[in-house]
Every structure is written in C-alpha cells, then in structure tokens.
C-alpha cells in the first residue's frame, strides 16, 4: 500500500473508532508513546514468540505494523507480567507471549484478510471446524483491545524450552504432554478459532484443564483478566488507556538486538 493509501485507510479507521465513542491517537504518529515499553527491557527472561511479525499466523505472512518481533505494552502491564514471571520461575516455568500491543493498522489487515477467498491451509490449521465467512465479525473484529496496549496473548512453557513452529497441524489436534510449540499442553494452539479455545470448555484432558487453571491463577494474581473465548488472552486492569486505540508501528529496539 502506498503512503497515500495508508493515510486514507487510517483516516477512515479513525472516523469509525470515533463513531463508536472511542478515541485514537494521531494515526500519523510513528514514535512509541513514552509510557509504552519493550517487554524485553522490563524482563528479558519472558519468552517471546511474536507470531504476527512472521509467517506463522492465520494470515500466513507478516502483518502490517509489526516491523519487529517485539512485545510492546504500557509500562504497568509489562511490570505486572514481570511479577507473574517472578512467581513462575521457582516452578520451573516461564511465560511465553505471542502478541502484545497491536497497531490498528494490523487490525484493519485482519479484517481485510477475513474478507478474501478461503485459504485451505489456514482453514486446516486455524479454523478446521468453521467456514471463513464465520470468522468475521465473531472472531475477527474491527477493533481490538490489544490496540490499547494492556493486553497480551500468552501461555506457559517449561523454562529453557526452545520455540518450535510446526506447520500444517490442526490447532485442535490432541496435545501429547506439551503443545506443538513447546508450551504446556492447553488443548489448542494459539489463534485457534474454535469453541475448544474457550477458557472453560468440554473435551480437554485433566492435564490441559490444570494448565489453563494454572495460567489463569498466575495472571489473576497480578491484575490480569482473562477473555473467556480465548484461553491465551489477558488484559491488565484497570487499563491505563481504556478508551484509546493506538496505531504506532512496532519498531526494533534502540540497540537493534533481540535476545
């Protein structure tokens, strides 16, 4: 998309958000606001598997707005995640984040993807029991709480477990002892558009139920509330920007490195 086209899209999106009674930062802003931070700068021990910065996601390609594989959050949420991580370390566990702050540009890209012809591979992996036409707006909405900066998608993993990216496996496939990406078995993979992804649902093993409960308790202890349709989705409350949707891009950290 040209810069002119992007500007038109941003303007239209801003108008839509305001019409719904919410505000949005100036969409031309390129710099991260001062009260947003890189999670890696707050706690580098938290594992990051930032799916939308690469091709391992339901769109099959890097998503606009994700120019770096970095978790960005408002400081309060990042520091709360550090507190969760501190509780988990004695248990030999780590948080693993899949997504954090999400630019509204990325949300618009998701909506556009939902309206394109079906992709058999994406269906087999991410929504095996649904038609693509069922995804919007029930699963893919025009606005995302991630754009407010206090929401993270995450799981638990054994400390030191390397990140793996298996391909072609249904998100609802049975998990034998661990998730395909090395996390604890949760019953589905991340970004699974299926009722089985509901935090409380039927068809889980006792181990999967226990792991979901462990994650829920660990996050709730430090101010995070779960979104019931997605076991991986947590929002820090009270949200510092409960009515504001941001659109600055996720850039590489100043030192240019990722650990």
Determine, yes or no, domain membership for 257: no
pLDDT of residue 254: 86
Beta strands in 83-217 (DSSP E): 93-99, 151-158
Range of the domain at 203: 3-245
Determine, yes or no, domain membership for 252: no
Can you spell out the DSSP letters for 196-240? GGSSS-SS--HHHHHHHHHHHHHHHTTTEEE-TT-TTEEEESS-T
Determine, yes or no, domain membership for 226: yes
Determine, yes or no, domain membership for 230: yes
Q: By the 8 A CB rule, do 259 and 46 touch?
A: no
CATH for 216: 3.30.1380.10
pLDDT of residue 47: 97
Q: By the 8 A CB rule, do 186 and 179 touch?
A: yes
Active site residues: 230
Determine, yes or no, domain membership for 258: no
Cα separation values, 11 from 64, 67, 174, Å: 16, 21, 44
Closest CA to 185 of 195, 193, 173: 173
pLDDT tens per residue, the chain (259 residues)? 444 444 433 433 333 333 334 555 544 467 899 999 999 999 999 999 999 999 999 999 999 999 999 999 999 999 999 999 999 999 999 999 999 999 999 999 999 999 999 889 999 999 999 999 899 888 998 999 999 999 999 999 999 988 888 778 899 998 888 999 999 999 999 999 999 999 999 999 999 999 999 999 999 999 999 999 999 999 999 999 999 999 999 999 987 555 4
Look at strands 224-226 and 233-236 and give their pairing. Answer: antiparallel
Task: Give, to the nearest 10 degrees, the angle between helix 206-220 and helix 75-88.
Answer: 130
The pair of structure tokens assigned to 111 is 């909506």
Question: How many domains is the chain partitioned into structurally?
Answer: 1
Determine, yes or no, domain membership for 256: no
pLDDT of residue 138: 85
pLDDT of residue 166: 74
pTM confidence score: 0.88
Q: By the 8 A CB rule, do 98 and 69 touch?
A: no
In total, the chain counts a number of residues equal to: 259
Beta strands in the chain (DSSP E): 23-24, 36-38, 47-48, 72-74, 93-99, 151-158, 224-226, 233-236, 244-245
Determine, yes or no, domain membership for 192: yes
- CA within 13 Å, CB half, 114: 19
Determine, yes or no, domain membership for 251: no
> What is the C-alpha to C-alpha distance for residues 54 and 21, in angstroms, rounded to an integer?
33
pLDDT of residue 28: 45
> What is the C-alpha to C-alpha distance for residues 211 and 208, in angstroms, rounded to an integer?
5
């Amino acid at each position: 998309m040209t810069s002119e086209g992007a500007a038109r899209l941003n303007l239209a999106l801003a108008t839509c958000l305001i019409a719904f009674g919410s505000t949005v930062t100036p969409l031309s802003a390129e710099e991260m606001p001062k009260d947003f931070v890189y999670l890696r700068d707050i706690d580098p021990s938290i594992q990051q598997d930032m799916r939308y910065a690469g091709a391992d996601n339901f769109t099959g390609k890097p998503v606009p707005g994700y120019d770096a594989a970095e978790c960005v959050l408002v400081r309060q949420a990042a520091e709360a995640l550090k507190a969760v991580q501190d509780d988990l370390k004695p248990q030999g566990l780590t948080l693993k984040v899949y997504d954090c702050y999400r630019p509204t540009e990325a949300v618009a890209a998701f909506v556009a993807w939902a309206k394109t012809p079906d992709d058999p591979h994406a269906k087999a992996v991410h929504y095996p029991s649904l038609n693509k036409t069922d995804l919007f707006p029930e699963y893919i909405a025009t606005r995302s709480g991630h754009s407010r900066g206090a929401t993270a998608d995450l799981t638990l993993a054994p400390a030191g477990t390397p990140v793996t990216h298996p391909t072609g496996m249904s998100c609802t496939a049975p998990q034998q002892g661990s998730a395909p990406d090395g996390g604890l078995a949760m019953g589905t993979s991340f970004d699974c558009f299926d009722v089985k992804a509901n935090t409380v649902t039927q068809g889980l093993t006792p181990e999967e139920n226990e792991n979901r409960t462990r994650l829920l308790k660990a996050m709730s202890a430090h101010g995070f509330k779960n979104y019931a349709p997605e076991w991986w989705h947590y929002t820090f409350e009270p949200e510092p920007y409960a009515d504001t949707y941001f659109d600055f891009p996720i850039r590489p950290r100043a030192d240019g490195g990722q650990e």
